[in-house]
Amino acid sequence: MYLVIMKKTLLTIFTVLILKSTGFAQIKKYSLIGVWQVEYPQLGDAWLANYRFFSNGTFKYTFNQYDDRGRIAAAKGIFKLHGDTLTLIIKTRIERIGGDLVGGSLGFQQDELVLEGTRSIEVKQKNTDPIDIRVEWINKKGVKAFKLQNNTYYLISSDPHNQDD
């Protein structure tokens, strides 16, 4: 009996080592589902740029909420993760229209000139060509993150609906 258990244990270890060396074990190792914020794994009084990946294959990218002058607030679309390649197809974007440039509030806004009085509209994206981005996964000391181009995104929540803005 002891010999059978040892053989099964060794076979399991051997199988895991082979799968890891060939890359097959990494297919389901990471999940994008959740909220991922750029630069910091903690929230402040506003969101930095962030991705929300949903289990139905859709995503929402929200631009930095500290930017009080930008006209594009968010992008929405579908995503696919295949190996180390993230493919995004943008379907719509949220744009701010109207408003006026006014002086920023000292201590609350980063810039001295900000947009005030805008309203948001959803605009259909004309160019729906896939955008392929290489993903580099990071898992240090229990902090889950990934790198896209020059930006590192940290997992803030595994539920993208939980902290919707």
Give tens-digit pLDDT for 110-137.
678 888 888 999 999 999 999 999 999 9
Residues 143 and 103 in one domain: yes
Residues 93 and 47 in one domain: yes
| Enclosing domain of residue 40 | 31-157
- Asked if pLDDT for residue 156 goes beyond 80, the answer is yes
Q: Are 77 and 126 in contact (CB under 8 A)?
A: no
Residues 19 and 92 in one domain: no
Higher pLDDT, 123 or 156: 123
Residue 87 is encoded by which pair of tokens? 């493919």
Domain assignment present for 165 = no
The phi and psi torsions of 149 (rounded to 5 degrees) equal: 50, -115
pTM over 0.85: no
Q: Which pLDDT score, from 0 to 100, does residue 135 have?
A: 93
The phi and psi torsions of 153 (rounded to 5 degrees) equal: -110, 130
Number of domains in the chain: 2
Domain assignment present for 162 = no
Give tens-digit pLDDT for 73-122.
999 999 999 999 999 999 999 999 998 888 877 766 667 888 888 899 99
Residues 40 and 106 in one domain: yes
Give the separation between CA 152 and CA 6, rounded to whole angstroms.
43
Give me the mean pLDDT over the 45-62 stretch.
91
Residues 67 and 19 in one domain: no
105-108 own/partner pairs: CB under 8 Å, 24+ apart: none
Give the CATH number, domain containing residue 49. 2.40.128
Residues 69 and 17 in one domain: no
